[in-house]
Amino acid sequence: MATSKKDDFAIYCCDLLSGVGPCSFRRMFGGYGISTDGLTFALVADLGGGEKLWLKADAETSPRFEAEGCERFRYATTRGGMSSTHSLNYYSAPEETMESPALMLPWARLSLESAVKARPAPKKPKPVAAKKKPPRPGKKLRP
């Protein structure tokens, strides 16, 4: 993957999170999504205070992030002259974890577990109706 100077922080975050598996990043929505095994479990985005690493959370793990003083991912939009604020189930990584993959590992695991839980269930294949074969020419049908 070709990288630029702008990608440096995303690369650094992938290194920090690599304890849960090989990570890759891709540009999305003006930032980056960080994934392992096809699951996006972290974001890198600048919401006004510089680039930050945001970790996926859920109803069960959100209180742990909040207890650490982590900031919830919130952004503002304006549509038709009306402003509104939206949030995603991502929290800024605890500050002390940003220096050490070992300190980041438990938080990366929480984030990945939240991503696994949020993954949509695989769609069940529709049953295929058996096609009736037309009778062969010259063959008599039984009543």
Domains parsed from the chain with CATH numbers? 5-118 (3.30.1460.30)
- Given pLDDT bands bounded at 50, 70 and 90, which one contains residue 123? confident
Q: Per residue in 21-69, pLDDT tens?
A: 999 999 988 899 999 988 999 999 998 888 999 999 999 999 999 999 9
pLDDT digits (tens, 9 = 90+) for 54-113: 999 999 999 999 999 999 999 888 888 888 888 899 999 999 999 999 999 999 999 999
DSSP string, 13-52: HHHHHGGGS--EEEEETTEEEEEETTEEEEEEEESSSSEE
